[in-house]
């Protein structure tokens, strides 16, 4: 199921990033008291009253060589394009500016639900400042303070009222959903066409639950698959053309609906920072991942080229150490026959359940081989382990003191699980809980 998307818009320095951080509950955007400082991490997850949603901080949308008003217009238009609900932030202490009026006009014309937040209203004595903001024609202004967290609950209550009805994807549980993500021009569409053209077994085109997406269902070797089309990521228009950063926004919707994500890299261009950001979202979402290096036919190779490229991927994508790598060419169909068998394999690993008795025997053996760490005279004691979920496989370790399970020992335990069971292609989650929790 796709989560609703909420976008925060407004001119620079009204406190968008502070509010973004408050809602997602962590400092993911860089906040300084200076316009235009937000850097990149413009997309995160929020939750309010048991409803999860994705949050865009458009403050991160900076267009080179553009006057401020044009930039704001582009940001607002991007938010309108991507969001189900828009939160328009203004500065209560400064009153309405011409830039606020410009953004309000664009939002008003969009016919999208807009919730108006008047920031920097730190106490009830300042509520008189709200009245002038009615003239924007957006509706009731909500007094908030991003820096103190005041009023955000009322604002989010209003946002929730405008969420679309929950829509489930209409596919059998056994159907494997695949999305291809990556920067524009890495060859996603060509790969999709080559994979489908080779099979010639398209059953139907089913409109996806995300806007502008067409899901393609097909069957191979008695396994049903759905390709979630992310070609719509290459949206025409200045925002999408001016920077590749926004391919992330489209990728996220596809990732959420997938079981297996193919992270596509262009062999000719090599790896750039943007590839890592897009892949990072698939990893954070807990999806099974395969790294596909496309256009492998286009580069000069010797007997060490593939090995060197693979090592570079491993060095750059440390967080995807579990992901298999395939070198392919959509143009020549090179190694394309390996893609779907690998998708099926990592999907099975993503769904793997380990019997509790075998799991505990393995962990006890691991502890005997490499004793648990101590801190200030206290030793970590693992009492019991159980698997609580799949997609991704999630293990709860009941221990005497959760904080004693350090990252390095957690990695050792994960490596033991991977060495014993077939977890290629899937992340693993380990949760430490106090024994009596």
Question: Which residue positions form the known binding site for GTP?
Answer: 10-17, 57-61, 119-122, 182-189, 229-233, 294-297
Q: Cα–Cα distances in Å, from 138 out to 4, 38, 85, 134, 324?
A: 21, 26, 13, 7, 50
Binding-site residues from annotation: 10-17, 57-61, 119-122, 182-189, 229-233, 294-297
Residue position matching structure tokens 């014309």:
109
Beta bridge partners of 219: 224
CA 410 to chain centre: 24
Report the SS3 class of residue 11: coil
CA 12 to chain centre: 25
* CB contact burial 81-96 (16+ within 10 A = b; e otherwise): bbbbbbbbbbbbeeee
- Rounded CA-CA distance 398/382 in Å is 6
- Report DSSP state, residue 155: H
Q: Are 239 and 255 in contact (CB under 8 A)?
A: no
Q: How buried is residue 306: exposed, middle or buried, by Cβ count under 10 Å (0-12/13-18/19+)?
A: middle
């Amino acid at each position: 199921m796709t989560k609703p998307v909420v976008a925060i818009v407004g001119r620079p320095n009204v406190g968008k990033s502070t509010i973004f951080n408050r809602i997602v509950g962590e400092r993911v955007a860089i906040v300084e008291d200076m316009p235009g400082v937000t850097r990149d991490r413009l997309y995160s997850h929020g939750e309010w009253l048991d409803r999860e949603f994705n949050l865009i901080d458009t403050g991160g949308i900076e267009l080179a060589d553009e006057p401020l008003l044009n930039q704001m217009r582009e940001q607002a238009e991007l938010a309108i394009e991507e969001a189900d609900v828009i939160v328009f932030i203004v500065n209560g202490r400064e009153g309405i500016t011409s830039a606020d009026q410009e953004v309000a006009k664009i939002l008003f014309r969009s016919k999208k639900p807009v919730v108006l937040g008047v920031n920097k209203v730190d106490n009830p004595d300042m509520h008189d400042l709200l009245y002038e903001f009615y003239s924007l024609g957006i509706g009731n202004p909500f007094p908030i303070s991003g820096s103190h967290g005041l009023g955000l609950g009322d604002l989010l209550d209003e946002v929730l009222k405008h969420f679309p009805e929950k829509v489930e994807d209409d596919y059998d549980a056994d159907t494997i959903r695949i999305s291809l993500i990556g920067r524009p021009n890495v060859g996603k569409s060509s790969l999709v066409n080559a994979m489908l053209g080779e099979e010639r077994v398209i059953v139907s085109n089913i409109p996806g639950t995300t806007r502008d997406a067409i899901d393609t269902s097909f069957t191979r070797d008695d396994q049903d698959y759905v390709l979630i089309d992310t070609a719509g990521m290459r949206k025409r228009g200045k925002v999408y053309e001016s920077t590749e950063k926004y391919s992330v926004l489209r990728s996220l919707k596809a990732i959420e609906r997938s079981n297996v994500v193919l992270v596509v890299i262009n062999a000719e261009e090599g790896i750039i920072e943007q590839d890592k950001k897009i892949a990072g979202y698939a990893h954070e979402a807990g999806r099974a991942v395969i790294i596909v290096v496309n256009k492998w036919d286009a580069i000069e190779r010797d007997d060490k080229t593939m090995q060197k490229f693979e090592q570079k991927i491993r060095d750059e994508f440390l967080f995807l150490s579990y992901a298999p790598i395939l070198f392919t060419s959509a143009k020549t169909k090179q190694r394309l026959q390996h893609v779907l068998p690998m998708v099926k394999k990592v999907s099975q690993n993503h769904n793997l359940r380990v019997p509790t008795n075998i799991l505990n025997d393995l962990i006890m053996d691991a502890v005997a081989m490499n004793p648990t760490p101590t801190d200030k005279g206290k030793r970590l004691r693992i009492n019991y382990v159980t698997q609580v979920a799949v997609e991704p496989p999630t293990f709860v370790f009941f221990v005497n003191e959760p904080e004693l399970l350090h990252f390095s020992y957690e990695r050792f335990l994960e490596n033991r699980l991977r060495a014993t069971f077939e977890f290629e292609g899937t992340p693993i989650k380990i949760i430490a809980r106090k024994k009596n929790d």
